[in-house]
Amino acid sequence: MDNAVATVAINAEACSSSCDLCVASCPVDILRKPEHGSVYVAYPDDCQACFLCEEECPREAIRVTTPARVPMIDVVYAQSSSEKGR
């Protein structure tokens, strides 16, 4: 997780296997839900810390955390720098 802006944690016990609101809400498509299984974070380094998945979860089973020591300007700079390299 060298380039990660945030960490996404999913509480599998609280997560509903029939719900995929977090997957549908993610603008960078980092979450996956197999046909018969729970949601998981497929691309953790691509999280942009928008918190939409956390806000959409009706069971509060997903948490997005960001390092408190990283000023938002550094996050924006890291995102724009990584996009230039793609």
Assess if residue 54 is contained within a domain. yes
How many domains does the chain fold into? Answer: 1
Assess if residue 21 is contained within a domain. yes
Assess if residue 1 is contained within a domain. no
Tell me the HSE value of 21 on the side-chain side, using a 13 A CA sphere. 15
- Specify the CATH number for the domain of residue 66: 3.30.70.20
Assess if residue 61 is contained within a domain. yes
User: Positive or negative, the Cα torsion across 10, 3, 48, 35?
Assistant: negative
Distances (CA, A) of 49 to 19, 45, 79: 21, 11, 11
Instruction: Note the pLDDT tens digit of each residue in 32-63.
Output: 999 888 899 999 999 999 999 999 999 999 99
pTM score, whole prediction? 0.72
Q: Which range of residues forms the domain containing residue 49?
A: 7-84
